[in-house]
Amino acid sequence: MKVLYSENAPKALGPYAQAQQVGNLIFCSGQTGINPKTGLVEADTVEGQTRQVLQNLAAVLSTQGLTLQQVVKCNVYLSSMDSFERMNQVYGEMFAPHTPARTTVAVAGLPLNALVEIECIAEIG
């Protein structure tokens, strides 16, 4: 296993790694819409937060020369399913034309009162 870290993504809020590489797979921890420069969730819409989340995941993946195009699976956590369509629009734009496998669920709450959190698995090669 190899711990991955990017200064261009938010620091972990607890005792976990931004990502772990195991063989040719990268397992990225869930990211919220934290701006890595300020440490704050600045966007107040699910669209803005989704965009920041995916930028944060892209920053972690870039440590191994990867992009969102190498993501094979995502888990999306929403504070409300009422946000699904708006999250889905930004998600689709940022992954296009790629369509990784995905699970989306609503949860009771997210760190820092975030509206969305996304974790992913990517493949090297």
Question: Cα angle vertex 21, ends 37, 34, to 5°?
Answer: 20
Domain extent at residue 49: 2-123
Tell me the per-residue pLDDT of 13-50, one tens digit each, with 9 for 90 and over. 899 999 999 999 999 999 999 999 999 999 999 999 99
Q: How many CA atoms lie within 13 A of 44 on its CB side?
A: 0
Give how many domains the chain has, as a whole number.
1
Q: What is the CATH number of the domain that holds 82?
A: 3.30.1330.40
Task: Encode pLDDT of 87-115 as tens digits.
Answer: 999 999 999 999 999 999 999 999 999 99
* H helices present in 1-119, as ranges: 46-62, 84-95
Interval 49-87: pLDDT, tens: 999 999 999 999 999 999 999 999 999 999 999 999 999
| Secondary structure (3-state) at 73 | strand
Cβ 121 vs Cβ 68: under 8 Å: no
